[in-house]
Amino acid sequence: MALDLSKLLNPEQCLAASQIKGPELIIAGAGSGKTRMITYRIANMLDKGIDESEILALTFTNKAANEMADRVRETTGKKLKGLTATTFHSFGLGLLKQYIQYLGYRNDFTLYDENDNVSLVRNCIVTCGFELGDYNTRSLREFFSSYKTGRMALPEKGTAVRDIYDEWLLTQKAYNVVDFDDLILLPITIFEKKPDILEKVQDRYRYIMVDEFQDTSLLQYKLVSMIAMKYRNIAVVGDDDQSIYSWRGANYQNILNFEKDFPERKEYKLERNYRSTGNILNAANAVIVHNSERKEKKLWTESGEGASISIKCHPNGEMEALWIATTIRRLMREKKYGFKDFGVLVRTNSLMNILETNFVEARIPVRISGGSSFFDRKEVRDMLCFLKVLTNRSDDNSLLRIINTPRRGIGRTTVEKLRRYADDKLITLYQAMEELSSSPDFRASTQEAIKNFLRMVASWEKKLSAPSSLINTIVKDTGYEAMVREEFPDSDKAVAFKMRGIEFLSDRLQRFIKENPEQGLRDYLRSVSILGDEKDDDESSVNLMTMHASKGLEFKVVFLSGIEDNIIPSARALEENMRNIDEERRLFYVAITRAKEKLFINYALTRRDREGKEKSVLPSRFIEEIPTALLQSEEKSKEQMLQDNVAKGRQFLEMLKNRDKNK
């Protein structure tokens, strides 16, 4: 039975989903049901006889990609094993697994995550003869990413940074490793060098959809447009008002690039909102209209006006956090909200600590987005490095981490001798260990330590075909648990916590092998780097997160904390240019549109700086852009409210001065 889109979608969604040939630009406002539209558009393609293997759907998170594929399967009742619904990085990884050999890499390449790369940068600084203390390695790694992707011009040759950068590129190639930038950059390079491969990929993916198009970088757009150019059946879905990731390369100008490259495109706007109340949408519309470079649109809803927006002033940041915690408890008692219904959003991570403290004191369970990843834990990274060495003997960076972990008599002096030998002979560190394991330059005990390590690796290698129990074997053979006990001699809890992390990693590996019998350990390690630590939804916690992390989410009740100038808009944006202010406004717009029923906007009169000093602050200029009529009636007028707040601020500051005098 053919799909009747007119009965399944609103008129605008229906038009967008009905067009399956030619280029299409879909401007989808926040909460406008774009996922539903995308689902039925793909279902419509299949209904019209397009083969599932010809469809490529790209987005930015694994969760979104899986949700998209699952919804299409549910709608069509088909298994759709040939449908490609994935992230840009996963898609790029798939291309490299097929074609990377054309760029001089081996197919057993390792994918480095951010921590791996930072460690590699650190090693390159030392190799170049510079002092580690002179550089912030994480910042340097960020600069290197900008150089590699063309977002920043390269430093001049002969400068220290350029020397380190060149060494870093050479070392990556020598180690047979790629990073996240390479997952987009290298496929483009392959397509440019091998047009026949490009045409092969074009013939495979004749119908392309890109979700969250405003978040694409120039390179991501180049990759997908190269594939689309032959058949020109490409639909991009995005919202320029939600473009908030320029700091990681996203460029909302890609919408203009798309219009230029595909002048025959059809354009549709999805403005009906299914998430928020009228008052929340009116506030969002009133704020974002102050941005000049945007597609004109206005969100609307049929769900009614809803509650007025609360703008609350607090004496200081501590009182703000206490009030939010107290209000969450009150709303739960009055309206029977669950913890999961609350989203508490901040502009910067620095505002989270005081909020988390107050939540804990109020016995409110909290889930923090943006905290330390499971894969950042030392014991987990140690195990992953053992596995990386097993799958890629050229990965000197991973080998350096575990060569003497736990301590086995291969100390720093020995490692330096091995590295010098490897550099002189132009071989890997592992090869140097093999060649020098009986060298008279080392003591007999050192020789034996090297041989024992090589024997262990060789024994583990025999288990690569069935890696399910490999981690447990590594822990046993190396004596890793004994090392952990030495580190925490007085804390069985700490030891148990560390070992549970390793056990959890082992369980994940076993589950991956079971669910993907055609894949092996190397595929698992790449998937870990791709997936990171994507957490499942926690149904029993309040969600505390940055505004950036909130994108794509929704909550019945949203608290915005720290809505002050120099926070949002940030001090940097205020110092630089209007374009940065516009992005900060888009971020505020995204935060507002996460709320379904209630929105509380909070700011303080004073807030502690990094040194702990209390300093007066001003409400965000974005608050002034919200019409007074949308605010709670008790607020009188916005002008009077702000005057009162200034008076309160002066009184509070005077109180602080008197308190200090009396000490």
Amino acid making up residue 355: L
Which residue has tokens 């993916």? 205
Query: Can you read off the two tokens belonging to residue 476?
Result: 């046993």
Look at residue 39 and give its three-state secondary structure.
helix
- Residue 594's CB: how many other CB atoms inside 10 A? 25
59, 75, 216, 242: the catalytic one is 242
Query: Can you read off the two tokens belonging to residue 495?
Result: 């030891």
> What percent of the chain is helix, strand and coil (3-state, nearest 5)?
55, 15, 30
- Can you say whether the dihedral through the CA atoms of 96, 98, 102, 107 is positive or negative? positive
Could you tell me if 589 and 558 are in contact, meaning their C-beta atoms sit under 8 angstroms apart? no
Task: Give the separation between CA 26 and CA 6, rounded to whole angstroms.
Answer: 18
211, 215, 320, 635: the catalytic one is 211
DSSP string for residues in 602-643: EEEEEEE-TTS-EEE--B-TTGGGS-GGGB-GGG--HHHHHH
**CA contacts within 13 A on the Cβ side of 21:** 3
Closest CA to 27 of 275, 254, 290, 297: 297
148, 297, 594, 607: the catalytic one is 594
12, 34, 297, 586: the catalytic one is 34
Known catalytic residue at 271: no
Known catalytic residue at 34: yes
Q: Which residues 6+ apart lie within 8 Å of 326 measured at CB? A: 362
Known catalytic residue at 405: no
Query: Can you read off the two tokens belonging to residue 247?
Result: 């700091």
Known catalytic residue at 47: no
Burial class (CB in 10 A: 0-12, 13-18, 19+), 295: middle
Which residue has tokens 């989808």? 28
Query: Can you read off the two tokens belonging to residue 342?
Result: 């609350």
12, 182, 212, 356: the catalytic one is 212
Known catalytic residue at 211: yes
Known catalytic residue at 241: no
Q: What is the 3-state secondary structure (H, E, C) of 71-92?
A: HHHHHHCCCCCCCEEEEHHHHH
Task: Give the separation between CA 18 and CA 5, rounded to whole angstroms.
Answer: 8
Enclosing H/E stretch for 24: strand 24-28
Closest CA to 388 of 291, 457, 435: 457
- Residue 136's CB: how many other CB atoms inside 10 A? 11
Q: What is the DSSP letter of 272?
A: B
Could you tell me if 395 and 422 are in contact, meaning their C-beta atoms sit under 8 angstroms apart? no
Catalytic site positions: 34-35, 211-212, 242, 594
